[in-house]
């Protein structure tokens, strides 16, 4: 690992060599620096090309080094860029594949840049809660203009090299090179060295300007603040880009560096770095590796053309894979296909999908009413009504008709996958694939591993998840799996808060301020309160000793099912989705408390947030100790990708680690003493209690 050196005639070539993404780790930086010194002292060499080994240039600083001495060890990236600027021979960055973060900053600090078309170019630091720390916010505006640069820095989104190269007057890419990038870059380097008459070009000498800077940056700052709630990095990105216009280059650089250091130490940045690695770790399962056999997955079928079945189908169509949907009646099929069409047509109308692509997707869709038509599918995903008897019947039928080796998946969200598997003669082929609604949008896929599910089947489904752009997390079998099991405790606690004196809107407001996309009561109204009601009926009849609030049930008994019935925890005006505080619910709660003998009290926002989040954490700890989930970071990924937990808090388990498990347990014990709360609810899970007592964390 490091940087490799070789020559092509009179041109030196430095190849970044740190697979898989050529992160600019300490050894890589040292290798580049030593190679540059060598070029400077060798009179036979006239120019330098820096290129990435493997399929890409560089994904930037090595994030694993952050917070460790290696990150700042000399030569750090900052010093390396100064060394390049002082070179007497032209340095050309030749970028391909991925050129991001510190990788792009290395290129921006070079004298010239050439790129292969199709290169993903970006400054994604904001997604890690920081900003580019080595001149990205100062040089990119000078290279492509202030507005396009600010958009890239604030959103962290990457843009293709050919799109950037087409910006009028841009100074980012001197040439796009089709074909052999190294050969083209060496020719370009030679031409630069030979035609050179003046100083080598540096972006620091270009002026960054905006015709209406004051108003533009104010607008950009307000927009960034509005979109990012309490998360500080985006607004700081605006400040730094503004400095490129209002300050000298060196002042801007120092300002950027100062903010970079400040942001790096924030809990938000630590949490986002945790999320980065947690999402990648989720796909790694202890007993599955590259050597585990995979099954072929060419033909896919979905049983059920309802909301879930349709959404699941769209994932495959979007990935360019043919799908056959099976239903029991032609009307249900027609309805399902019409909904899929409607969803795509909305995208076409918004300009997010080209009309020809829409037709291509639809041409991959087949429908049938006959199980024998899907008998040769490699994977069948059942998405029928959430009822064990109905699902068992579907699996009996599948067992009878499907070819040997077909993977039989159920999209159940709460039912026992082992029982479903047991009705077949091939439980090793049965697995849960729990998609989240809307299934074509939500990233999360809980892959439920039954007690008999084979490693081969699990590995195949995990690979498949990547191809349909889902974040897969493996869960064991239990009621609700990881996500809904924890959600049950969260909602129980939210309802206790309402019994004790909060209004639904107070609870929602507090947790939304914390960063959740939506509070529990707005979610319940959106999803349909009758769904939770049905689950509670089943769950709490089986567990009569468990206390839960009947507030949600009472609303359902009044027909207040949520948005779909025009009323739930909130009132709704026809045709609009705004949740309006309901006087009926307010009166109902007053009566409810009176009947239950509860003296209502004012509850602060911190208590609301902590009671809701600790409810998740405690159940998350149980999920871990029972082996339902293999890693605390997986629990975080479930909540981040499926339940709107704020990314900059890192997920419930990461957030609890940040606060300190000792403090979490202490506040749980305090809530247990509250006369209106449920002491049993706050009994710390043994794993949580042990970690807290030992001063340890989940991570």
Contact between 134 and ligand 3HC per CB under 6 A: yes
Instruction: Confirm if 520 and 491 have CB atoms less than 8 A apart.
Output: yes
Residues 81 and 105 sit within 8 Å (Cβ to Cβ): yes
Cα dihedral 290→296→299→304 (10° resolution):
-60
Sign of CA dihedral 78, 83, 87, 92: negative
Residue of 34, 85, 125, 157 marked active site: 125
For position 61 contacting ligand 3HC by CB under 6 A, the verdict is: yes
One of 35, 36, 50, 77 touching ligand 3HC (CB under 6 A): 77
| Total chain residues near ligand 3HC (CB under 6 A) | 23
The three-class DSSP label of residue 130 is coil
Q: Binding of ligand 3HC at residue 59 (CB under 6 A)?
A: yes
Contact status: 634 vs ligand 3HC (CB under 6 A): no
What is the DSSP secondary structure assignment for residue 677, as one 8-state letter? S
Exactly one of 115, 125, 523, 608 binds ligand 3HC (CB under 6 A); which one?
Answer: 125
348: tokens are 């076409």
Scanning 94-102, 181-189, 397-405, 560-568 for contacts with ligand 3HC by CB under 6 A, the matching segment is 94-102
DSSP per position, 543-595: -TTS----HHHHHHHTT--BGGGTBSSEE--TT----EE-HHHHHHHHHHHHH
The helix/strand/coil state of 613 is: helix
64 touches ligand 3HC by CB under 6 A: yes
Does position 98 interact with ligand 3HC (CB under 6 A)? The reply is: yes
Candidate segments 107-115, 133-141, 301-309, 631-639, binder of ligand 3HC by CB under 6 A: 133-141
**Binding of ligand 3HC by 20 (CB under 6 A):** yes
* Interface residue with ligand 3HC, options 62, 268, 500, 525 (CB under 6 A): 62
Candidate residues 52, 109, 132, 304; the one interacting with ligand 3HC per rule CB under 6 A: 132
How is residue 124 annotated by DSSP? G
Q: Quickly list H helices, 283-354.
A: 307-318, 330-349
Q: How far is the CB of 421 from ligand 3HC (least distance, A)?
A: 31
Nearer to ligand 3HC, 101 or 519 (CB): 101
Q: Which stretch binds ligand 3HC (CB under 6 A): 18-26, 143-151, 674-682, 690-698?
A: 18-26
Report CA torsion sign: 374, 375, 381, 383: positive
Applying CB under 6 A, which part among 58-66, 438-446, 655-663, 688-696 lies near ligand 3HC? 58-66
Q: Which of 128, 140, 459, 616 binds ligand 3HC (CB under 6 A)?
A: 128
| CB-CB contact of 523 with 562 (8 Å) | no
Binding mask 268-297 for ligand 3HC (x = CB under 6 A): ------------x-----------------
Does 68 bind ligand 3HC (CB under 6 A)? Our answer is no
Active site residue 500: no
Strand partners, 434: 446
| Torsion sign, CA atoms 325, 458, 393, 420 | negative
Residue 437 burial (10 A CB sphere; 0-12, 13-18, 19+): middle
Q: Which residue has the tokens 């620091």?
A: 204
Q: From CA 52, how far away is CA 523, in angstroms rounded?
A: 46
Candidate segments 121-129, 357-365, 657-665, 687-695, binder of ligand 3HC by CB under 6 A = 121-129
β 98-100/120-122 pair status:
parallel
Q: Reduced to 3 states, what is the DSSP secondary structure of residue 176?
A: strand
Instruction: Name which position in 23, 311, 483, 552 contacts ligand 3HC (CB under 6 A).
Output: 23
In 3D space, the residue among 347, 356, 297, 352 whose CA is nearest the CA of residue 322 turns out to be 297
Name which of 410 and 633 has its Cβ closer to ligand 3HC.
633
When the beta carbons of 133 and 620 are compared against ligand 3HC, the nearer one is 133
**Other C-beta atoms within 10 Å of 201: how many?**
16
60 or 304: CB nearest ligand 3HC: 60
The residues that bridge with 365 in the sheet, in sequence order, are 323
> From the candidates 74, 105, 607, 694, which is the catalytic residue?
105
125 a catalytic residue = yes
Per CB under 6 A, does 101 bind ligand 3HC? Answer: yes
CB of 684 to ligand 3HC, least distance (A): 32
The SS3 of residue 115 is: strand
Q: How far is the CB of 629 from ligand 3HC (least distance, A)?
A: 18
User: Which residues in 71-97 are b (16+ Cβ under 10 Å) and which e?
Assistant: beeebbbbebbebbeebebbbbbbbbb
**Integer CA distances (angstroms), 107 to 26, 280, 298, 636, in order:** 17, 27, 42, 35
Q: CB nearer to ligand 3HC: give 260 or 435.
A: 260
Nearest-approach distance from CB 133 to ligand 3HC, in angstroms: 4
Asked if 133 is part of the footprint of ligand 3HC (rule: CB under 6 A), the reply reads: yes
- Using rule CB under 6 A, residue 469 touches ligand 3HC: no
Q: What is the CA radius of gyration of the chain?
A: 28
For ligand 3HC, which is the closer residue by CB, 23 or 646? 23
Select the residue interacting with ligand 3HC from 16, 33, 105, 638 (CB under 6 A): 105
Closest CB 103 distance from ligand 3HC, rounded Å: 7
Taking the least distance from each CB to ligand 3HC, the nearer of 3 and 134 is 134
What is the token pair recorded at 572?
A: 């709704």
Q: How many CB atoms lie within 10 A of CB 553?
A: 17
Question: Would you count residue 63 as binding ligand 3HC (CB under 6 A)?
Answer: yes
Q: Which of the ranges 20-28, 225-233, 266-274, 352-360 carries the binding residues for ligand 3HC, by CB under 6 A?
A: 20-28
Q: Which is nearer to ligand 3HC, 132 or 450 (CB)?
A: 132
Nearest approach, Cβ of residue 135 and ligand 3HC (Å): 9
124 binds ligand 3HC (CB under 6 A): yes
CA distance 535 to 539: 6
Using CB under 6 A, which of 11, 21, 208, 474 touches ligand 3HC?
21
Rounded Cα gap, residues 573 and 588, in angstroms? 20
Question: Phi/psi at 549 (nearest 5 deg)?
Answer: -80, 140
Report the interface residues with ligand 3HC, using CB under 6 A. 20-21, 23, 59-64, 77, 98, 100-102, 105, 124-125, 128, 132-134, 136, 280
Residues serving a catalytic function are: 105, 125
């Amino acid at each position: 690992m490091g940087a490799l050196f070789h020559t092509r005639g009179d041109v030196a070539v430095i190849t970044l060599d740190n697979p898989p993404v050529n992160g600019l780790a300490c050894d890589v930086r040292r290798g580049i620096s030593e190679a540059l010194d060598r070029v400077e002292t060798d009179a036979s060499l006239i120019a330098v090309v820096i290129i990435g080994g493997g399929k890409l240039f560089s994904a930037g600083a090595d994030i694993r080094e952050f917070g460790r001495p290696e990150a700042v060890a000399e030569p750090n990236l900052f010093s390396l860029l100064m060394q390049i600027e002082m070179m007497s021979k032209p340095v050309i960055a030749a970028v391909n594949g991925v050129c991001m973060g510190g990788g792009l900053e290395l290129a921006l600090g070079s004298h010239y840049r050439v790129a292969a078309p199709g290169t993903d170019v970006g400054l994604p630091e904001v997604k890690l809660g920081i900003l580019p720390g080595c001149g990205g916010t100062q040089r990119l505006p000078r290279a492509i203009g202030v507005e396009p640069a600010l958009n890239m820095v604030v959103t962290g989104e990457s843009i293709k090299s050919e799109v950037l190269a087409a910006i009028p007057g841009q100074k980012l890419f001197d040439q796009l090179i089709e074909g052999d990038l190294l050969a083209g870059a060496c020719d370009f380097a030679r031409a630069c060295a030979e035609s050179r008459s003046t100083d080598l070009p540096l972006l620091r000498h270009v002026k960054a300007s905006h015709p209406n800077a004051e108003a533009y940056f104010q607008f950009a700052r307000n927009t960034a603040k509005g979109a990012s709630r309490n998360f500080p990095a985006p607004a700081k990105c605006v400040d730094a880009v503004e400095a490129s216009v209002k300050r000298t280059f060196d002042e801007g650089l120092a300002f950027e560096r100062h903010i970079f250091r400040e942001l790096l130490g924030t809990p938000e940045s630590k949490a986002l770095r945790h999320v980065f690695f947690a999402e990648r770790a989720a796909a790694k399962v202890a007993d599955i590796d590259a050597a585990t056999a995979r099954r072929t997955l060419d033909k896919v079928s979905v049983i059920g053309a309802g909301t879930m079945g349709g959404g699941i189908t769209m994932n495959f169509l979007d990935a360019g894979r043919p799908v056959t949907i099976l239903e029991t009646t032609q009307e249900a099929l027609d309805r399902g296909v019409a909904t899929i069409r409607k969803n795509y047509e909305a995208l076409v109308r918004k300009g997010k999908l080209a009309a020809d692509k829409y037709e291509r997707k639809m041409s991959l869709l087949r429908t049938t009413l006959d199980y024998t038509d899907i008998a040769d599918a490699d994977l069948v995903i059942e998405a029928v009504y959430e009822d064990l008897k109905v699902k068992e019947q579907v699996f009996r039928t599948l067992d009878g008709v499907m070819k040997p080796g077909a993977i039989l998946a159920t999209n159940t969200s709460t039912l026992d996958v082992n029982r479903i598997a047991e009705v077949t003669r091939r439980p090793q082929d049965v697995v849960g694939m729990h998609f989240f609604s809307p299934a074509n949008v939500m990233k999360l896929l809980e892959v439920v591993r039954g007690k008999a599910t084979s490693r081969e089947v699990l590995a195949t489904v995990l690979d498949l998840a990547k191809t349909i752009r889902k974040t897969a997390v493996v869960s064991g079998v239990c009621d609700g799996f990881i996500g809904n099991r924890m959600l049950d405790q969260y909602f129980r606690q939210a309802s206790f808060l309402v019994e004790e004196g909060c209004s639904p809107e107070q609870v929602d407001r507090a947790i939304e301020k914390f960063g959740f996309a939506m509070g529990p009561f707005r979610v319940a109204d959106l999803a349909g309160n009758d769904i939770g009601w049905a689950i509670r009926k089943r769950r709490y009849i089986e567990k009569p000793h468990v206390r839960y609030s009947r507030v949600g049930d009472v609303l359902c008994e009044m027909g207040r099912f949520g948005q779909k019935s025009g009323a739930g925890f909130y009132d709704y005006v026809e045709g609009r989705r705004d949740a309006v505080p309901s006087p009926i619910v307010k009166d109902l709660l007053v009566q409810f408390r009176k009947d239950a003998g509860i003296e209502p009290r004012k509850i602060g926002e911190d208590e609301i947030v902590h009671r809701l989040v600790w409810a998740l954490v405690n159940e998350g700890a149980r999920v871990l100790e029972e082996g339902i989930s293999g890693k605390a970071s997986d629990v975080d990924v479930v909540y981040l990708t499926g339940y709107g937990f704020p990314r900059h808090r890192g997920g419930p388990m990461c957030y609890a680690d940040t606060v300190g498990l000792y403090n979490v347990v202490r506040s749980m014990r305090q809530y247990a003493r509250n006369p209106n709360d449920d002491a049993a609810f706050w009994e710390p899970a043994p794993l949580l209690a042990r970690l807290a007592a030992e001063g340890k964390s989940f991570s």
